[in-house]
Amino acid sequence: MEPILKSKWRKLDGTKIDTAISSAVEAALISEKQLGNQIKVCIGTDSQVRGAETEYATVIVLLRKGRGGFMFINNDKTKMKLSLKERLLIEVARSIDIAYHLCPLFDKYGTELEVHADINTNPRFGSNTALSEAMGYILSMGFTFKAKPDAHAASCCANKVV
């Protein structure tokens, strides 16, 4: 699988990002700051199994406090057979990978960052089997962790584009 940082990214309207994702995110942070917008970034990944393939969608959501937001999207497919727990932890790893690489930008521009996991906090749901590992992984990397129902980047935004 190609490293997520160097793979193809796009905007919600389909416009391809021709530069490195870090350059696109930095340009967006500068532009929003110049417009006087306060930005919070939420990064999340969701996946969908379709036959023998699993498709992943990772999103970088830039929320303008009180003024909506926008996102950058990366889609990728694999034919690896995975259990639900393995697939959920790969989702988390993809989100952490991009968050880790972009973290210096967020520090530079004083931008709040959250990593969202498409994992249910209710033990009645299958995704709950990965909750403690995902939470530990994200928190141990120094990121703010959010799970369902508060993980909108993964459970809403990425879910819509996978």
Question: Which residue blocks in 11-108 are alpha helix, DSSP H?
Answer: 21-34, 84-108
Q: How far is CA 126 from CA 26, 32, 61, 83, 87, in A?
A: 37, 39, 26, 11, 12
Domains in the chain (CATH in brackets) are 9-161 (3.30.420)
Question: pLDDT tens track of the chain, all 162 residues?
Answer: 345 656 799 999 999 999 999 999 999 999 999 999 999 999 999 999 999 999 999 999 999 999 999 999 999 999 999 999 999 999 999 999 999 999 999 999 999 999 999 999 999 999 999 999 999 999 999 999 999 999 999 999 999 999
Task: Say if residues 132 and 140 touch (Cβ distance below 8 Å).
Answer: no
| Residue 148: φ, ψ to 5° | -55, 140
Which pLDDT value is given to residue 1? Answer: 39
- pLDDT for residue 3: 52
